[in-house]
Chain A
Amino acid sequence: DSGVTQTPKHLITATGQRVTLRCSPRSGDLSVYWYQQSLDQGLQFLIQYYNGEERAKGNILERFSAQQFPDLHSELNLSSLELGDSALYFCASSLEGAIRQPQHFGDGTRLSIL
């Protein structure tokens, strides 16, 4: 058990809808990262938050947004969903803001767009 909790485990919705994925980092970790894993793209970094502030941005679409709250949990919001957004979404956390340290992953949210 990594200590990172993601909810829900599965989400099924339709095109055009909006969903929110939630992540609770390991106790004591200040950074939260979001990744998308699809069959044809592998693990793609989306965005990082450190202590409530956006720290780094990767291949995140404008339809997607995230935030980290004062209690350090994070939410990833996906809107105007398209079939291609179907994927596994992982959250990871680490102690500090620097990239060069192990990130610990949750077990993901599987998003299916019908």
Chain B
Amino acid sequence: GESVGLHLPTLSVQEGDNSIINCAYSNSASDYFIWYKQESGKGPQFIIDIRSNMDKRQGQRVTVLLNKTVKHLSLQIAATQPGDSAVYFCAEAGNMLTFGGGTRLMVKP
């Protein structure tokens, strides 16, 4: 079936640095992708989405890049802050929304 995966379970960055979280997806027919942030004890929080007719989309301090050739998605967070510490999930839309396993981002002060 469809699957979305993350290769780095934990990413540790210094406060103020940029963070890059990567995601590989397997279904070449997927045409919509979302990034979510989940803090401890909370539900996933929508960050940004991108459709397959785009390569890049920017939000507030975040950028999502989509490389359809290699089926790769990344989330870039600029000037990472302690409040960015959380687990980040990518998800792809095929027949349903399929989530990856998550990457934990830890921000060191």
Q: Which of A42, A56, A90 has the most CB of B within 10 A?
A: A42
Query: Taking CB as reference atom, which chain A residue is nearest B30?
Result: A100
The yes or no answer to B17 lying at the interface (CB within 8 A) is no
Q: How many residues of B contact A (CB 8 A)?
A: 23
- Give chain A's interface residue range (CB within 8 Å of chain B): 20 to 34
Per-position contact with B for A57-90: 1 when CB-CB < 8 Å, else 0? 0100000000000000000000000000000001
Min C-beta distance of A112 to chain B, whole Å:
15
Contact surface of A with B, Cβ cutoff 8 Å: 2, 4, 33, 42-45, 48, 56, 58, 90, 92, 99-100, 102-108
Contact surface of B with A, Cβ cutoff 8 Å: 31-32, 34, 36, 41-46, 49, 51, 89, 91, 93, 95-102
